[in-house]
A and B are shown apart, each in its own frame.
Chain A
């Protein structure tokens, strides 16, 4: 899918300061070497299976499907991974690579704290020093994850610049890396950033789709009709989409956060409402004004609260290989409680966006159609947000 070096069509590239260029070139070389190296692949597989708990189940959500009354809804249970989300797949890959490269210090950015927790976890397991940048606003909203990271031995730096959220945490992580490039490995949490990150993170996440393909063939003896995933930066979505891109009968649908509505100023629907731009090392779609100033995004879900999207999604969007839709806070909250009550699975608010769209889509499908939803994470981290938003409704 990569055309020019590190490009997906016109998207991607390496828009970073000169100081980081050789670091990116070294990273790309080390990464390519490891991908060819069977012992690296075996070591990664070992940790994915014995530490993270892969493979994750592909679960037929019978009650949810019957309740909606359309096609069969399957859930890819990434919520059952260690640390509660798909993020660990990528983190184990990158930290193993950092070790091979002889880096002694790990940094990461985090929004909801899921990627930060996953990074702190893997760094603890490998005995590496870890520092995490997190917007001051998110430090407040996600206090529990901040404490988790500290328990795991990581240092958390609250970031007060800009809008004090994920975008600014990413800026600060880039600044740190520019300063400490010689000994530091920057573990990016999604399919964003300069080449080789979008490709590398996708390759570490594609295990979601590879497993799904085998599992659906075993259970249904055919490929699904729809695959639905939420999109923040886009790593869980590309992870499950990628092995199906060439299967033309499988429709791929990415779900962005519409926040309070795509026609308000408060959303994070980058492909729906954004324009071409350059930020965080990549050319892609961004929410911005005519001067190129980045507009603050909004979503109830901190993991989708990002003004950009990975370059490969921008390409899949323009080439028509995947479709992107948006779901509001309210729709996601409704899906959150539906899945909890019908299946006994409390999803992450991010994943609830994918569930919400799957409920809409399933209604329009025949009973013999198959929908796979990537349940990217579990909702423990979001319970207090949901309590604040809809505690009363749940009581009744």
Chain B
């Protein structure tokens, strides 16, 4: 059984919601990312999503765009990130995901990338620009290696939801509203209908992401699903403490407050 499934099943049994936290690899540098992942796990992150910085992140808002640009300006390469994950796996058994744009995988070679993920200990991939129709080949390969390809569904998916969910492993990433990653003040009117629709299908865990930026929002939204993903708010905090010595402490305290809120 995959680490993702194990973790989410255990939470469900205890009637707890999952907290997934995101950060961009190499922002501010690879050692800082490594330390931040460990800190987030220590403060209660159930799964950590590691963003591979990309030159053209069309699914991301300004906060994550800027983080990716800074990481690339620091010449972060995919192989550096793979080595970092290998080191992380010596220290933690928490499920780790990559958020990665398809071209990075495609250039690396699909099978080589998945194989490498498996070897270093990545449990799943979120590929924001690879919709269901284009994902057949990578799903076939990743099944061989037992790496989950996490499917996204969005409020505009409508009748597509059923088919996408029936073919998914790991969990379903429910995009809270149309648009790109980034903080939102409120969620759209159709959010409730969308989540009702999603929850009708399968018992695979449903996790909500995009725009969730505070413990208050986590509280407001968590009961619609099996967990929440917080990204831009964490990346923004890292950016605001880019070279500060209390960066780890600040991010740790924020994750603690999010963990309190999912309880």
Contact = CB atoms under 8 A, between A and B. Distances in A.
B102 A278 contact: yes
Given A21-B160, A161-B69, A179-B178, A13 B134 contact: yes
Nearest to B133: A14
B131 A178 contact: no
Residue picked from A171, A276, A289, most chain B C-beta under 10 Å = A171
A220 interface: no
B128 A292 contact: no
A289 to B, nearest CB: 8
Interface string B141-166: 00000000001111111101000100
Interface in B30-58: 54-58
Given A292-B101, A292-B104, A294-B55, A18 B154 contact: yes
A162 B175 contact: no
B154 A19 contact: yes
Interface string A249-279: 0000000000000000000000000011111
A182 interface: yes
Contacts of B128: 17
A17 B102 contact: no
A23 B156 CA distance: 8
B108 A279 contact: no
Given A174-B58, A178-B179, A291-B108, A18 B77 contact: no
Interface in B69-124: 69, 72, 77-78, 101-108
Main secondary structure of the interface of A (DSSP, over half): mixed
A152 interface: no
A337 to B, nearest CB: 36
B107 A175 contact: no
Interface string A1-44: 00000000000011111111111000000000000000000000
A277 B55 CA distance: 13
A293 interface: yes
B55 A17 contact: no
B69 A14 contact: no
Given A179-B180, A278-B102, A291-B78, A17 B131 contact: yes
Interface in B164-201: 164, 175, 178-180
Contact of A182 (B106, B153, B164, B178): B178
Contacts of B56: 162, 167-168, 171, 279-280, 294
A293 B178 contact: no
Contact of A292 (B69, B103, B155, B158): B103
A181 B157 CA distance: 12
B131 A21 contact: yes
A279 B153 CA distance: 21
Given A18-B152, A277-B107, A178 B134 contact: no
B153 A22 contact: no
Given A17-B128, A179-B180, A291-B78, A162 B55 contact: yes
B11 interface: no
Contact of A15 (B134, B152, B158): B134
Given A14-B133, A175-B61, 16 more contacts: A14-B134, A15-B134, A18-B132, A18-B152, A19-B157, A168-B56, A178-B59, A178-B178, A277-B103, A278-B129, A279-B103, A291-B104, A291-B107, A292-B106, A294-B55, A294-B103
